[in-house]
Structure 1
């Protein structure tokens, strides 16, 4: 692999101490290099490795009682009771013909659907990546519409956790980084997980994309489209727990 992927694998792996050791050794190597260049002190690899391990042990011992808190890459609301003006639901579907489809629903404060969109691309990706691309697409649409207050919901729990920095999935990290950059352009954003039952409208649009392609409707999509024999169900989806 190239050096970028190599670094990314180490920095995003689930082995906390492994990531710590990797970063600390890089830091110690940099320091040893400066000592050699500017002071003529030859580095000892064994000592370098030992000091790196000791540093990590000391750091973890000092922070053992601190519980990690997820850092949400979003701007916090000015008040704790702020309500999002727009609620977006997004879902993805991977089709057997090598295409990928997405569905997007926008609702207002009253729960009425104000916008429906489907999207189809001739790209074959795994379900987790498809869901991450769907969240990114929804955020792109929100930025394009100059939405200032947004709640975005997906039934892909792993993707939602990555956006909220509660976990990491290396294969979708570049897409998640794009999501963070888009979130920075919206004053108030909440990214939440919903059950599949509460995301059925976006799911139906993702399935509809297979037959109608990329489309946009004000309000609901025409019901006649969903009764078409060409509107087949999504054959591969990310599994999410059946609860909010």
Structure 2
């Protein structure tokens, strides 16, 4: 849709059309008919309830800075990670070994075929 359309107005028009169609079916099958004013009131209330039920609270994302800390002197630290590639029936693993100065001692990255 074009940016010139107001989303709330479009929702109102579509929901009014739906309520008219629904009211027509009510008249055909049950004989009960709502007035135009009643349809607009029902539509307004329906959209308000729908919006309230589907409104997600705006949450500020918490930013957490995660830093790497070196191991004690004369020790190494191993970081491990993995990933699953279901469409390719494979997994991936990775290892990184660093010394107490943060220098990379060894690294490994491997794809492993696996039935998932």
Q: TM-score range by the shorter chain?
A: 0.3 to 0.5
Q: Which has the higher contact order (CA 8 A, sep 6+)?
A: 1
Report which of the two structures shows the higher radius of gyration computed on alpha carbons: 2
Higher helix share: 1
TM-score by length of 1: 0.22
TM-score by length of 2: 0.44
Higher strand fraction: Structure 1 or Structure 2? 2
